[in-house]
Structure 1
Amino acid sequence: MTVTDYQSALAYIHSRPRLHKEANLNRIGALLDALGCPQEGQQFIHVTGTNGKGSVVKMVTCLLEATGLNVGRFTSPFITRFNERIAINQTPIPDAQLVAEVQKIEQQVSRLQAADPEFAVTEFETITAVMFDYFKQQAVDIAVIEVGIGGLYDSTNVLTPQIAVITSVGLDHQNLLGPTLGAIATHKAGIIKGHHPVVIGRLPSEAQAVITETAKRLASPLAINGVDFEARLTKTLPTWGQQLIFSNQANRLQQLQIPLMGDYQIQNAAVALQTYLTYLAQQHLPVDILTIKRGLKQATWPGRFEKINDEPLIILDGAHNPEGIAELVKTIRHQFKGRDIRLLFGALGDKNLAQMLPPLKKVASTLLLTTVPDNPRAATPEQYAQVDSEIAIEPDWPVALTRILADISTDDVLVITGSLYLISAIRSYFKGETIDD
């Protein structure tokens, strides 16, 4: 056995292949069967989407916890420590528990490989199996599960959810999910299960048509943001947050507050609240406005329009695809009208830089590009220059950050955005934390 402690457990997980040439659920199914099918007999809420799924997962878990439930949460990627990806009541899986779970996985994978030398699971399949077994062992009341990529062939899609949630559909991961919104929506619609409710955000018409048809075919009740429910901003809070009003056919909830900024977070809150209220109705539980307010106030989420400094105002936001950038630019224009905006941006090379750089350049008084650290997929200076050779580039992000801070006044706003890998590194720098490898 190679897994003996926390570091060797992480090393084992990261040694698994990132992708497999065959897109199916056979490998994760075989591994979970060997573990005794821990995904069975549990309650889940399953969340996918191009953007917003992490924030929605956090809001829903906070609402469920405020109700008094023991709630599991599965998200990716992590910001500081790997354990953040698997949590119960916001407490990450302890190191010792992670080691024990990975040892169990290693043993079962070895046994399966003895019977079939070609058998291999991916890194995400391994993490997914750890999550399912840990939540089963800890007997959570319900777990809120974020899809890795897509939905249809995502390794989390072996569960049957109480509610399936699709936050948004945009052009991202096209090499895996297809070139069109319809193709991507088909993958995301794969998490819908027959006769189980579906909650969706405001989607492009092409994507919404696919989701609507799938839900109808599977006789799954569908709630659409802007049609069956909605949330509206009532004011921006001076304490870094927003107040909103939510309504659906049965409820009108006023003076709700979230400690998150960004116009898009109002829409994420709408989806989260509809999901939570649907679950309460399923379980015949009462709607309590004080519980809802208490839950939403706990819904902080690092790296999502997060303030890390006041003077100058420094914000971290993991907008890493065209749709995310569009929402970020919209929020900047809304919140900081008339102020100088300094932008530091770093992305992965497989993202659509041609759609992301022009809107950033338009909204910024200063735009500086940098390289995502320690990632072979990071966009190179050459890739940036192919899109716009006039934008300044400093590959070393600490040097880039020093350059931009040297020319900033206390009234300016610095927004650091792009890949969450970059956000993680810079956030840890400001917080004085050490990131897991």
Structure 2
Amino acid sequence: MVRTYKEAVEWIHGRLKLGVKPGLKRMEWMMEKLDHPERRIKAIHVGGTNGKGSTVCFLRHILQEAGYRVGTFTSPYVEQFNERISINGQPISDVDLIKLVQIIQPLAEELEQTELGGPTEFEVITAMALYYFGKMNVQDVVIFEVGLGGRLDSTNVIYPLLSVITNIGYDHIHILGNTLEQIAFEKAGIIKAGVPLITAIDQPKALRVVQEKAASVRAKVYVIDRDFTIFAHEPTTDGERFSLQTPFASYDDVTITMLGAHQVKNAALALMVADYLRTYYSFLIEREHMYNGIRKAAWLGRFEKMDERPLIIIDGAHNEEGIDSLVATINAHYPNRGVHVLFTALGDKPVAAMIRKLETIAQTMTFTTFDFPRALSAEQLAEQATHRNVQCATDWKQWLKEKRKQIATDDIILITGSLYFISNVRNFIKNKYN
């Protein structure tokens, strides 16, 4: 039995060796043993390829402004493991994490002796979150972010008030399928009978799959650019400004501090969800709560400015669609600045395509690696590059220290790729490069 925080986290991470095991049988077994904590939670379920974390963040801030206590279950973490299970943005305590592991560990060991096999790391963490919000610390509402896919994701044991799908893109294709239709089918698996869906999917083929699933279970669908519409969008010096028309209200001159057109879509999704909760579930959300919440929202590691002169930006763009959004944001907000890119990625990503897109904005391209099982080497990444100014950096910390002294003060250091890597970089920069 674990007794310290270090032992608890080590036990959880020890489950990583089991890899990814899609399916809900192990989760259902644990929920039965725990007397179904998932049935006691007022939940909102957020799936999609990119933008899940930002959408959760926008929605959480709106609900907090309205005075609600909001639980969140997100992944991965950026600063500390505990933040995956949070209340009003505050990670759970080390003491509570230890208690949760003490409850779930015996179940995991018992489950290992069955034909279902032991639960994975993500299944264990999901069970911990469900028990925490269902039994230990019940909240007004809990927002659950899907881990991978949807249909067979361990979070899919919940029956939410609303389902949200941000968008569909090519990620985890070795598990979810290599066509938009196949990926959309997996994402659509979170849609429940009679539970409304709000989505920002804009590809016709993917949207058709999702609508067919929703129709089959009689779930109402609200689609961006059809049922709720963004207009008058313009970049500002410190964010974005836009207006939104929903079926229930009009919101003019909404401002956000997260940069990029993709964040405008995520904010619009959150506003539409809040509007629906206000209209149909009697949530006491005023217009000022929506405006203030959206404006205050900030998401770690997503186009986050870490230093000035030179400007250092970190962004966890870990797939092709994420890189597209990142490049568009740089072009919209910093069109005439020298950009020095530091990039690394995991081996299951379409790195050649990602690198090609980054090369369009880069003055220099530097590749590195980090301590993670699936991380590619700097040399493997460099082989995919066609840029005229390419280098490899074995020690990215030393590279960063030197680069910020070498470049012009109005240039930009852009660090992107794996979110796991971005977490390391963020902690390093916060400690002032020491």
- Specify the alignment match of 2:37 in structure 1: 38
Task: Give the drift of 1:277.
Answer: 1.1
Aligned counterpart for 2:348 among listed residues 327, 342, 350: 350
Q: Contact 2:25–2:116 (CA<8 Å) still a contact in 1?
A: no
- Specify the alignment match of 2:381 in structure 1: 384
- Specify the alignment match of 1:419 in structure 2: 418
Separation of aligned partners in 2, 1:112 and 1:346: 37
Report the 3-state secondary structure (helix = DSSP H, G, I; strand = E; otherwise coil) of the residue aligned with 1:219.
coil
In structure 2, the CA distance between the partners of 1:392 and 1:233, relative to structure 1 (3 Å rule), is farther
Separation of aligned partners in 2, 1:360 and 1:228: 34
- 1:23-34 aligned at under 5 Å gives the runs 23-34=22-33
Matching of residue 375 in structure 1 with residue 375 in structure 2:
no
- Specify the alignment match of 2:325 in structure 1: 327
Separation of aligned partners in 2, 1:251 and 1:308: 36
Task: Give the drift of 1:233.
Answer: 5.4
Q: Contact 2:356–2:386 (CA<8 Å) still a contact in 1?
A: no
List per-residue Cα deviations over 1:202-223 (Å, max 9, x = no partner). 4322211111111111111101
In the superposition, the TM-score normalised over structure 1's length comes to 0.94
Task: Give the drift of 1:21.
Answer: 7.1
- Specify the alignment match of 1:13 in structure 2: 12
Report the 3-state secondary structure (helix = DSSP H, G, I; strand = E; otherwise coil) of the residue aligned with 2:156.
coil
Task: Give the drift of 1:279.
Answer: 1.5
Report the 3-state secondary structure (helix = DSSP H, G, I; strand = E; otherwise coil) of the residue aligned with 1:253.
strand
In structure 2, the CA distance between the partners of 1:99 and 1:255, relative to structure 1 (3 Å rule), is same
Give the unaligned 5+ runs of structure 1.
none
In structure 2, the CA distance between the partners of 1:201 and 1:187, relative to structure 1 (3 Å rule), is same
Q: Contact 1:368–1:400 (CA<8 Å) still a contact in 2?
A: no
Matching of residue 360 in structure 1 with residue 333 in structure 2:
no
Separation of aligned partners in 1, 2:282 and 2:22: 38
- 1:258-277 aligned at under 5 Å gives the runs 258-277=256-275
Task: Give the drift of 1:166.
Answer: 0.7
- Specify the alignment match of 2:303 in structure 1: 305
In structure 2, the CA distance between the partners of 1:94 and 1:286, relative to structure 1 (3 Å rule), is closer
In structure 2, the CA distance between the partners of 1:271 and 1:196, relative to structure 1 (3 Å rule), is same
Q: Contact 2:168–2:183 (CA<8 Å) still a contact in 1?
A: yes
- 1:36-435 aligned at under 5 Å gives the runs 36-113=35-112, 116=114, 119-136=117-134, 137-232=136-231, 234-238=233-237, 240-285=238-283, 288-371=286-369, 373-388=370-385, 391-432=390-431
Q: Contact 1:349–1:383 (CA<8 Å) still a contact in 2?
A: no
Separation of aligned partners in 1, 2:115 and 2:208: 43
Q: Contact 1:18–1:124 (CA<8 Å) still a contact in 2?
A: no
Task: Give the drift of 1:351.
Answer: 0.6
- AA aligned to 2:356 is P
In structure 2, the CA distance between the partners of 1:433 and 1:119, relative to structure 1 (3 Å rule), is farther
Task: Give the drift of 1:389.
Answer: 6.4
Count of residue pairs brought into register by the alignment: 430
Q: Contact 2:66–2:284 (CA<8 Å) still a contact in 1?
A: no
Separation of aligned partners in 1, 2:278 and 2:177: 36
Task: Give the drift of 1:361.
Answer: 0.9
Separation of aligned partners in 1, 2:99 and 2:50: 33
Task: Give the drift of 1:340.
Answer: 1.3
- AA aligned to 1:331 is T
Runs of 4+ in 1 over 4 A off after TM superposition: 18-22
Of 221-230 and 250-259, deviating more is 250-259
List per-residue Cα deviations over 1:133-176 (Å, max 9, x = no partner). 11122111110000000001000000111111110111110111
Report the 3-state secondary structure (helix = DSSP H, G, I; strand = E; otherwise coil) of the residue aligned with 1:87.
strand
Task: Give the drift of 1:429.
Answer: 1.0
Task: Give the drift of 1:388.
Answer: 2.4
Task: Give the drift of 1:28.
Answer: 1.1
Report the 3-state secondary structure (helix = DSSP H, G, I; strand = E; otherwise coil) of the residue aligned with 1:417.
strand
In structure 2, the CA distance between the partners of 1:171 and 1:79, relative to structure 1 (3 Å rule), is same
Separation of aligned partners in 2, 1:433 and 1:385: 28
Identity within the alignment, %: 38
Separation of aligned partners in 2, 1:163 and 1:19: 31
Of 403-412 and 288-297, deviating more is 403-412
Separation of aligned partners in 1, 2:111 and 2:169: 38
Task: Give the drift of 1:297.
Answer: 2.5
Q: Contact 2:156–2:190 (CA<8 Å) still a contact in 1?
A: yes
Separation of aligned partners in 1, 2:30 and 2:81: 21
- AA aligned to 1:198 is L
Q: Contact 1:182–1:207 (CA<8 Å) still a contact in 2?
A: yes
Task: Give the drift of 1:121.
Answer: 0.5
Q: Contact 1:202–1:226 (CA<8 Å) still a contact in 2?
A: no
In the superposition, the TM-score normalised over structure 2's length comes to 0.95
List per-residue Cα deviations over 1:281-334 (Å, max 9, x = no partner). 221245521111221123111111111112111111110101000111111111
In structure 2, the CA distance between the partners of 1:207 and 1:395, relative to structure 1 (3 Å rule), is farther
- AA aligned to 1:154 is D
- AA aligned to 1:302 is L
Give the unaligned 5+ runs of structure 2.
none
- AA aligned to 1:318 is G
Task: Give the drift of 1:22.
Answer: 5.0
Report the 3-state secondary structure (helix = DSSP H, G, I; strand = E; otherwise coil) of the residue aligned with 2:155.
coil
- The two structures, once aligned, show a CA RMSD in angstroms of 1.8
Report the 3-state secondary structure (helix = DSSP H, G, I; strand = E; otherwise coil) of the residue aligned with 1:193.
coil
In structure 2, the CA distance between the partners of 1:264 and 1:389, relative to structure 1 (3 Å rule), is closer
